[in-house]
Structure 1
């Protein structure tokens, strides 16, 4: 597995530092319905009913990415997703559940980016750590999410990725390179501009 000290490129530090500063000084924009109490709760920062990540972004250099993820799950629609499907494509893997306030805030950004990068061969998968199919489907309709999610109420997928995903840090987003290796991790609500930059970098890497 990769060692955790990471040496991102200087320009990447500048991009991520700028994103962090903007997040600190610009109020969160309305990303979901105005009457969404969970979204308002996240904006208020009171942290009720969920344990969120700390908002940190970690990148893994080529030499520290380690082995491909051993992904094994089945979508709500019954399609099996395996590690083989991570090969050859940049992949975004988002851990979420419907009642998680920051998940609701980031959902429109994930939906937007999944569509924007589809023509570049980037695939998105969700891992839902709590919900039944009907609850997850309602969330996906609300936020116009078209990529599939895998239910993980038993924690089997999460358990296989504890090297990267703290069990109580939801949402967490992993960005995988074309070999299925973790190239970046976002703990907490995924900032759109930061995630876009991370994906773009991996799309630009030699196949």
Structure 2
């Protein structure tokens, strides 16, 4: 299933670029709705380019640290990922209420979040490009989302991911952060329950 562009609407006959506010980070320019292929790795990142838009860093020593993510949730509550989920495996899902693939994967995220909570896995959303939180809150209510979501309408939290890391590049994207706060995997498409479990099980088994 295709992913959606992240920061601007398509422009006919032109490659998608970031809006002016993101010009300084053009390296994060997002391409058109997903082909399922992964971008080439950059810097020292060593990851396996998995089929279907999922990339995994099997070597723990090669994983890059996740950026500090803190801000307000859709409900207006303060959330600091590093402090509140320290020592936990975190599944960070980037989504928007306007995104059809996000709707398609929502039930899968909710189910797996419930199944893996007792295994030390926490799910967190990162809502972006919703100019008003109301549609996003309606989305969460519709799908029974039990975990919090950052409200990041301007994409500022997304820009904290370092160049060359397994950074979110589509909507939806899902980033898997290990117990040490390192980026272990990234998906750049809507995920099935099977794909979520297949990515999480090795992380849960890590010592």
TM-score by length of 2: 0.71
Q: CA RMSD in A?
A: 2.1
Secondary structure at the residue paired with 1:117?
helix
Secondary structure at the residue paired with 1:125?
strand
CA contact (8 A) 2:67 2:162 kept: no
Provide the residue aligned with 1:177 in structure 2. Answer: 178
Q: Following the alignment from structure 2 to structure 1, what is the Cα–Cα distance between the partners of residues 55 and 197?
A: 14
* 1:2–1:179 Cα change, 3 Å: farther
* Number of corresponding residues: 161
Secondary structure at the residue paired with 1:103?
helix
The 5 Å alignment of 1:1-207 reads 3-7=44-48, 55-60=52-57, 61-77=59-75, 78-131=77-130, 132-161=132-161, 163=163, 164-167=166-169, 169-206=170-207
- Deviating beyond 4 angstroms after TM superposition, the runs of 4 or more aligned structure 1 residues are none
Provide the residue aligned with 1:27 in structure 2. Answer: none
Q: CA deviation at 1:162?
A: 5.4
* 1:171–1:7 Cα change, 3 Å: closer
Q: CA deviation at 1:59?
A: 0.3
CA contact (8 A) 1:2 1:65 kept: no
CA contact (8 A) 1:103 1:189 kept: yes
* 1:115–1:166 Cα change, 3 Å: closer
Q: Deviations over 1:25-65 (max 9, x none)?
A: xxxxxxxxxxxxxxxxxxxxxxxxxxxxxx41100121210
TM-score by length of 1: 0.71
Q: CA deviation at 1:142?
A: 1.2
Unaligned runs of 5+ in 1: 9-15, 18-54
CA contact (8 A) 1:91 1:124 kept: yes
